[in-house]
Chains A and B, each alone.
Chain A
Amino acid sequence: MIAAAAVLAQGGPVIPNFGRGDECARSNGKFCLHWFLDNFDNRFLPRVVEHIEMTLIAVSIGFVIAFSAALLVHRWPRGELWFANLASIFYTIPSIAYFQIMVAVTGIGWTTIEIALISYTLLILFRNTLTGLHGVPPETLDAAEGMGLTRRQMLTRVELPLAMPAIIAGVRVATVTTISLATVAAFITPLGLGAPIFSAIQTGANTDFIAAGVLAILLALIADLVIVVAQRLLSPWQRARGGAT
């Protein structure tokens, strides 16, 4: 509550830190590069780090939950509808509403934000893992079983490697979605790149607004690129496809 109050109380100067105090900053220009660079380390970098932390925690925990659920459902298919419906419900709740509802349960802070962010990752991660596992050709499984692989070996040596591209595609979408949702999380508590954006909405500080927005976009693009590269490195056979007739 204190942190949120602090944001609201920031009535003072339009741009809190005048830095070099150049003309652009004083007149609240569209985007003041000098001011941005001067304030990057103390004003923006911590937000970027928070944003990455929020995303990593949410996607990691979401992955563990969704992946485990997908493995269970793969073994005992009865649970599929149950988990898919649950995850769908989470996915359907509008994010701002969800953040607010969770405040009533877990208060303001990291826990609230993470629970909401994790909830949104579940559906895509679950679906993609299961789609990947179901996409393994039946003849490949027949051959694997016929050659004497145990169930566990079939999973770890055949099914999961073949499901990898679909799983990573799920991680990719979940990560990018989480990065954008995490900006909304600042509605609850000033964490991540959403914080300067929300404060700028109130203070009208153009540079804050644009800088944080662009940083969030860059973060999403970079994360996307990193995951695509990882996917290619982890599934070399996919690139190789179609090399011969």
Chain B
Amino acid sequence: MALSSSAAEIVFDHVTKRYGNSPRPAVDDLSFTIPVGDICVLIGPSGGGKSTAMRMVNRLISITEGDITIDGTSVKQMDPVELRRGIGYVIQQIGLFPHMTAEGNVATVPRLLGWDKARTRERVRELLELVGLDPEEHGGRYPGQLSGGQRQRVGLARAMAADPPLMLMDEPFGAIDPVTRERLQNDFLRLHKEVRKTVIFVTHDIDEAIKMGDHICLLRQGGKLAQFGTPEQILAEPADDFVADFVGADRGLKRLSLRRVGDVDLEPASNGANLPAVEARTSLRDALSIMLASGGDAVLVRDEDGQVTGQITLMVVSRLLAEGQGEPPS
């Protein structure tokens, strides 16, 4: 695959957005740094300014005070049109061009950049395949002839067409049924491992944030930063009551969903016990659920070949949570 692994570091430096003479800013003094190649999820209640914050990165919204830099260059110093052509942009309603085929949509930015036809065509095919569409079958279809999930895949391919180092995704899977959404989330995470771009991802769904984010930037009403950290940090050490409330009373369980059974030091399997068994890639949360549902306090763990490698007990799970230990494996 001819995709480069170029990615950019994004810095929010005391960014404030004020509309007209409204006394309350929409985004208030936001400062954080997104490392190269990370997925940073912007999350918060409605009115938290998460979309506003994202849209200031490609200057669809102007910055009132402060600055945003991409690899050290201020977005304010760049021509907005040039800037946007270098940033992938995916929105919830997808915004595909209804009068262009899937191929035509994906080719938009390459055409704007003046790529020759052969290069564009090749790139379009490559991207459709990358997002799990068949160029022969789906390439010539208009958006009206595609399902919601397929359209969102085309939207994703379109955003990645010119191989931008940064992608902005505004609730990209928000309007899609839960089953398709989960598949798209998984596909995107797999894709992200391959292409390793910096991604700013807006959502209002804390479970999606925990699943997708390398970092989570939680905003509160009035566009103020509530907490910035890894999902593990935010779940284990919420900065205040607002954060604790927002992530939910089940944040302990959510933390367990970040870890897989196979990443825990297992105890030797107890002989002869008639215990349920889970696979190593099962999350601790699911393992706990299976354990409790079976009425016992332990589950066996099998490796990929079905061999039992050990067991995990309720004691171990609660000790892991209590210690707040163990970063999720990177």
A residues with CB within 8 A of B = 137, 139-150, 153, 158, 161-162, 164, 235-237, 240-245
Known: A145-B60, A147-B108, A243-B144. Is A237-B99 also a contact (CB below 8 A)?
yes
Whether A147 pairs with B99 at a CB distance below 8 angstroms is no
A157 to chain B, nearest CB (A): 8
A146 to chain B, nearest CB (A): 4
Known: A148-B84, A244-B147. Is A142-B91 also a contact (CB below 8 A)?
yes
B124 to chain A, nearest CB (A): 15
In chain B between 75 and 113, which residues have their CB closer than 8 angstroms to a CB of chain A?
80-87, 89, 91-100, 108-109, 112
B147 to chain A, nearest CB (A): 6
Contacts of A244 in B (CB 8 A): 141, 144-147
Contacts of B158 in A (CB 8 A): 147
Our pick among B84, B94, B98, B147 for the contact of A147 (Cβ within 8 Å) is B84
Provide the main secondary structure of the chain B interface. Answer: mixed
Nearest residue (CB) in A for B159 is A147
Known: A144-B97, A148-B82. Is A241-B144 also a contact (CB below 8 A)?
yes
What are 21 A-B contacts with C-beta separation under 8 Å?
A137-B95, A137-B98, A140-B98, A145-B60, A146-B84, A146-B89, A146-B91, A146-B95, A146-B168, A147-B84, A147-B89, A147-B109, A148-B83, A149-B108, A161-B99, A162-B97, A237-B99, A237-B144, A241-B145, A242-B145, A243-B145
B1 to chain A, nearest CB (A): 23
Whether B109 pairs with A148 at a CB distance below 8 angstroms is yes
Q: Is B142 an interface residue (CB 8 A)?
A: yes
Q: Is B283 an interface residue (CB 8 A)?
A: no
B residues with CB within 8 A of A = 58, 60, 80-87, 89, 91-100, 108-109, 112, 141-147, 155, 158-159, 168
A49 to chain B, nearest CB (A): 36
Whether A240 pairs with B95 at a CB distance below 8 angstroms is no
Q: How far is the CA of A14 from the CA of B288 in the complex (A)?
A: 104
Nearest residue (CB) in A for B92 is A139
Q: How far is the CA of A144 from the CA of B89 in the complex (A)?
A: 9
Q: How far is the CA of A149 from the CA of B81 in the complex (A)?
A: 7
Q: How far is the CA of A142 from the CA of B94 in the complex (A)?
A: 10
Contacts of B94 in A (CB 8 A): 139, 143
B281 to chain A, nearest CB (A): 33
A217 to chain B, nearest CB (A): 34
Known: A139-B91, A146-B91, A244-B145. Is A235-B112 also a contact (CB below 8 A)?
no
Q: How far is the CA of A141 from the CA of B89 in the complex (A)?
A: 12
Contacts of B168 in A (CB 8 A): 146
A205 to chain B, nearest CB (A): 51
B263 to chain A, nearest CB (A): 38
Whether A139 pairs with B93 at a CB distance below 8 angstroms is yes
Whether B95 pairs with A142 at a CB distance below 8 angstroms is yes
Our pick among A145, A153, A235 for the contact of B99 (Cβ within 8 Å) is A235
Known: A241-B142, A244-B145. Is A148-B85 also a contact (CB below 8 A)?
yes
